[in-house]
Amino acid sequence: MISTTRTPLRRTAMARRSGAAETPVQALVWVLVLACVLAPVLPLLYASVQSKPIYDAGRSFTLSAYQQLFSDPAFWAAARNTLEFAAITTACSVALGSVFAVLCARSDVLGGRAYARLFAIPVLLPPLGVILGWNALYGPGGYARTFVTGTLRIPFNLNSVPGMAMLGAATAVPVVFLVCQAALGGMDASLENAGRSVGAPPLRVLSRITLPMLRPALINAVLLVFTLSIESLGIPLVLGSPQGHDFIASYLYTAWSSALTPDPPAVSAGATVLLAAACALLFLRSRLLGDEARFVSIGGRGGASGTVALGWPTRVVLGCVMALYLVATTFAPLLALALNSVVSQLTPLIAPWHLLTSANWTAITHGEYIQSIRNSAEIALAGAVATTVLVALATAVAHRSRFALRRSLPFLLLFPRAIPGLIIGIGFFWSFLLVNPPGHALLNSAWGMTLALSIRSLTLAYFVLAAAFAAVSASLEDAARSAGAGWWTTITRITLPILRPALFVAFILMFISILNDYDPALFLATPGNTIMGVTMLNAEAQGVNGPVAAMAMIQVAITIAAIVIGGRLFAARVARRANA
């Protein structure tokens, strides 16, 4: 009797001693995450209040960089363009994305289930490939541009701020669609059924009941899209800067790359201003969404989700409108990009089959092109593995430990997504210069870009793994601890093996995100040490369109292959677990 009562006490004491012994492991994970998040931020803030670049001697603290920035008319012109672009992009994308989401989730629109999947495609496509495809189709001399302005007599200029905003909206609509669709999936249809029961027409039910219930999701989407818009770099670099339309991001990049020294006095200050704006929007989001309980429609008893019958003519017309939208914004630009990669010149004046050539694809098989493709694949693979491991451990500390500082980890893991990519690039440039060794070695190698690109995307892995941890009961971990297992043993032997499918999804998302990102690398790439996005931007700026289109198609192909292979392996793994 005595031995059986002492055994649980002895096991509890062992678990406590083991937990105390493993606190340094949890602290190390927390320190690593904190260092990764602050590494690009603190040096940037420090550099913005220095009289000289931080690698020069004799510098002193001063605010002259901010004075220089705010006295530059070009900065204010870029700020106006940025705000106009962000406002138009946000308004159009939220309006279209929310309506499309409601139609797919709450109506019998023709093809609704197929559209729900098709709208997710642009999120996974390389952003630079989409930009180049739009430029080939809707840019000067493009097929669609000639048809719209010549045949239809509709004025449209993709290189203007409103024109670029149309492209920005097209890339943001899928984000809004997914945000609203997720919210609709958690709402029952009782209020909508009540509206229909009193004779409200279908479209009025959707506009007066469903859309207002989406207010938290819409606020989230508005602030998310606006934040992404003000940090946009690829669109103004490809379409705006050649026509004299700079945004804040392209203004800072141009000032950095065209200066005699790596850091013009105002660049770090401008990046700090952009960071402050992004943080302010993040804080505003948390305040506006603070009382989401007012919009909860799921009670204890719940209700089934339902669809609104639109009627045959309406459902067909709306289905055709959605199909036309997807063709015009996604599939036609991709087709134009593919066509541009196999012709010497893409022009509506000459039939493309008269201009067919393999020279574009031959050009990317050697030199800097093939080297950047190899670098991108290696960086994406290494970054995806390392980031998935770190985020998995950090999520375990945040949600499955008693570590004193665990509550700060979710914020730290979410914060990098609010930091514009150019800020991460500039910040790590200064970090590598300040911390030497090994800073200089990182600055001149692919490892520096791997670190910057991985930290930029680690929030995506946390989204996946946090949801996966929440879906796994802690009872198995409690049982392991009651048997004397420590935190490290419990997490690595029980929890993480259960989460293998989620870990695999996080790895695939990280691989795709790192492969397609390029903003931070613009400030870290060196000759012979670059990635696909940087090489394409540099070549496009020199007017080399064909090889750029071919490289963009390779990026699209790698992305699609990763999605297909990942999806099949994930399905096979889930099937094996179900049959086990």
Question: Are both 351 and 423 inside the same structural domain?
Answer: no
Collapse the DSSP code of 304 into the 3-class scheme (helix H, G, I; strand E, B; otherwise coil) and give the result. Answer: coil
For residue 297, the model assigns a pLDDT of: 46
Question: Are both 531 and 407 inside the same structural domain?
Answer: yes
Asked, for residue 441, whether it belongs to a domain, the answer is: yes
Question: Are both 494 and 395 inside the same structural domain?
Answer: yes
Question: Are both 159 and 30 inside the same structural domain?
Answer: no
> Burial of 187 by CB count in 10 Å (0-12 exposed, 13-18 middle, 19+ buried)?
buried
Peptide bond into 438 cis (omega under 30): yes
pTM passes above 0.75: yes
Query: Of 355, 372, 407, which marks where a domain is finished?
Result: 355
Cross-strand pairs, 50: 61
Asked, for residue 34, whether it belongs to a domain, the answer is: yes
- The residues, any chain, with a CB within 8 Å of residue 442's CB and separated by 6 or more, are 432, 448, 451
The range of the structural domain enclosing residue 157 comes to 78-214+311-355
**8 A C-beta contact, residue 35 and residue 394:** no
pLDDT digits (tens, 9 = 90+) for 457-493: 998 899 888 888 887 777 777 777 777 777 788 888 8
Quick one: tokens of 545? 């369109």
Question: Are both 366 and 413 inside the same structural domain?
Answer: yes
Question: Are both 438 and 572 inside the same structural domain?
Answer: yes
Question: Are both 328 and 407 inside the same structural domain?
Answer: no
Question: Are both 7 and 98 inside the same structural domain?
Answer: no
Give how many domains the chain has, as a whole number. Answer: 2
For residue 463, the model assigns a pLDDT of: 87
Question: Are both 348 and 362 inside the same structural domain?
Answer: no
Long-range own/partner contacts, residues 565-569 (CB < 8 A, 24 or more apart)? 566/504, 566/505, 566/508, 569/504
Asked, for residue 257, whether it belongs to a domain, the answer is: no
Quick one: tokens of 516? 């397609």
Peptide bond into 437 cis (omega under 30): yes
Asked, for residue 347, whether it belongs to a domain, the answer is: yes
Asked, for residue 571, whether it belongs to a domain, the answer is: yes
Asked, for residue 32, whether it belongs to a domain, the answer is: yes
Question: Are both 425 and 402 inside the same structural domain?
Answer: yes
Query: Of 355, 371, 387, which marks where a domain is finished?
Result: 355
Asked, for residue 69, whether it belongs to a domain, the answer is: no
pLDDT digits (tens, 9 = 90+) for 198-215: 666 666 766 667 767 777
| 3-class SS letters over 154-201 | CCCCCCCHHHHHHHHHHHHHHHHHHHHHHHHHCCCCHHHHHHHHCCCC
Asked, for residue 372, whether it belongs to a domain, the answer is: yes
CA atoms within 13 A on the CB side of 131: 23
- In angstroms, the CA 343 to CA 361 distance is 10
Stretches where the chain sits below pLDDT 70 are 1-22, 185-203, 205-208, 211, 259-265, 289-306, 573-575, 577-580
| 3-class SS letters over 349-370 | CCCHHHCECCHHHHHCCCHHHH
- The residues, any chain, with a CB within 8 Å of residue 162's CB and separated by 6 or more, are 84, 88
- In angstroms, the CA 372 to CA 367 distance is 9
Question: Are both 383 and 347 inside the same structural domain?
Answer: no
Give whole-number Cα distances, 14 to 3, 7, 400, in Å.
16, 10, 18
CATH code: domain of residue 133: 1.10.3720.10
Question: Are both 333 and 405 inside the same structural domain?
Answer: no
- In angstroms, the CA 544 to CA 449 distance is 25
Query: Of 340, 355, 370, which marks where a domain is finished?
Result: 355
Which candidate, 533, 491, 458, 526, places its Cα nearest to that of 132? 533
- The residues, any chain, with a CB within 8 Å of residue 181's CB and separated by 6 or more, are 101, 104, 105, 116
